[in-house]
Chains A and B, each alone.
Chain A
């Protein structure tokens, strides 16, 4: 089975879009396994202590349970999830 694929359309959410993820944060809140990471863009920021450009990246797609809540809650329909193989079996405390 293939890897899970989660995509965010940065034309709809991010520094070049109407929505700033720091204001919205809905996808992060509803995701049980905390797949999403909100972070400053990797470019140089005017004030590096307080960067102004932020993005959401699905950083742990292998933890996705395919619940689709993120896609449903996103006010901009920016998220698509193609849930396939989950790697919960990697757990080894």
Chain B
């Protein structure tokens, strides 16, 4: 991982402050604004029409990964993420994240589920912007965190079943570790329901040790991606690697040490499948 991608220097070079101010002011309206002339409302129906669908997908993916200076923050060009296991998320917070670090209410859960859940860890120049949006600042708990507190918060959230993800906002500037829940998460929605690469799968996939698995099914409930299934005939769980995002959240439910993350490229058929 590259510490430069987290630095204030980089932020200045790319004029991040202005981009982020605009993006955050307009965050909740992202999905009702237009992508290349098409609004996201009814996106699924539009993607079903073969030609429009192909064009939309191409346009949206180009926009999501935009590194051009003229990108449009109101549409969140260049804003995408990747799923990562707790250990890597903690490493970023512990060693790479620029201070100050804050914990604010999850935007996606507020705008799509109507609940306030203080789980988003933001750092660097973003943590100077979000406090201006008072609706995202927790009222009943400490929200300015030191590194140790942020690492502990991530662990608690991951164990609750939230998927850790790291966000470019915009490329190549990294300033958030999210703890996501599907289907509210806007990134996971576009990926899981519309096949757009807004969130990449993690660098790992989970493997299950048949000898250790006791068939308690606890891990199945934790997986947000439907990658785990209990087979009654063998009284064990099996993994669908194509569905696994490598978040590692299932591991917290296993008392028998049966689930392990392994590098994605070490599993046949999974190399390069992000």
- State the A residues within 8 Å of B (CB): 3, 25-26, 28-29, 33-34, 36-40, 42, 48-50, 57-63, 85, 87, 90-93
Contact B191–A42 (Cβ < 8 Å): no
Task: Report whether B132 and A36 are in contact in the complex, using a CB–CB cutoff of 8 Å.
Answer: no
Distance to closest chain B CB from A25 (angstroms): 3
3 closest A-B pairs by beta carbon, nearest first, are: A25-B114, A62-B44, A28-B114
Q: How far is the CB of B270 from chain A (nearest CB, A)?
A: 13
B242 within 8 A of A: yes
Tell me which residues from 176 to 191 in chain B have a Cβ below 8 Å from any Cβ of chain A: 183-184, 189, 191
The interface residues of chain B, by DSSP majority, are classed as helix
B interface list, Cβ under 8 A from A: 25, 28-29, 31-33, 40-45, 47-48, 110-115, 132-135, 183-184, 189, 191-195, 225-226, 242-243, 245
A-B contact count (CB 8 A): 89
A3 to B226, CA, bound (A): 27
Q: Within 8 Å CB of B25, what residues of A?
A: 48-49
Q: A57-B32, A62-B43 are in contact. Are A50 and B113 (CB under 8 A)?
A: no
Q: Which residues of B contact A60 (CB under 8 A)?
A: 41, 43-44, 189, 193
**Contact across chains for A3 and B42 when beta carbons are under 8 A apart:** yes
Among A39, A49, A50, the residue within 8 A (CB) of B28 is A39
Considering the complex, give the chain A residue whose CB is closest to the CB of B181: A34
CA distance A37 to B17 in the complex (A): 26
User: How many angstroms between the C-alpha atoms of A33 and B43 in the bound complex?
Assistant: 15
A39 touching B29 in the complex, CB below 8 Å, given contacts A50-B135, A87-B44, A90-B194: yes
Residue on A nearest B225 in the bound complex, by CB: A93
Q: When chains A and B are docked, how far (Å) is the Cα of A27 from the Cα of B160?
A: 25
Residue of B nearest to A24 (CB): B114
B133 touches A49 (CB 8 A): yes
**Which of B28, B40, B184 is the most central at the interface, judged by chain A CB atoms within 10 Å of its CB?**
B28
Given A34-B183, A91-B192, A93-B225: A39 and B32 interface contact (C-beta under 8 Å): yes
**Closest residue of A by beta carbon distance from B40:** A59
10 contacts between A and B (CB under 8 A): A28-B114, A29-B115, A38-B28, A42-B29, A50-B132, A60-B43, A87-B48, A87-B193, A90-B195, A93-B242
Q: Give A84 Cβ to nearest chain B Cβ, in Å.
A: 11
A75 and B112 CA atoms in complex are apart in Å by 19
Verify B243–A93 contact, CB threshold 8 A.
yes
Contact B42 A62 (CB under 8 A): yes
Query: Given A48-B25, A60-B189, does the pair A37, B48 have CB atoms closer than 8 Å?
Result: no
- What residues of chain B lie closer than 8 Å to A39, measured between beta carbons? 28-29, 31-32, 111
CA distance A93 to B183 in the complex (A): 13
A49-B184 in contact (CB<8A) = no
Q: Quick check: A40 and B114 within 8 Å, CB to CB?
A: no
Bound CA–CA A46/B217 (angstroms): 52
Q: Are A61 and B48 in contact (CB under 8 A)?
A: no
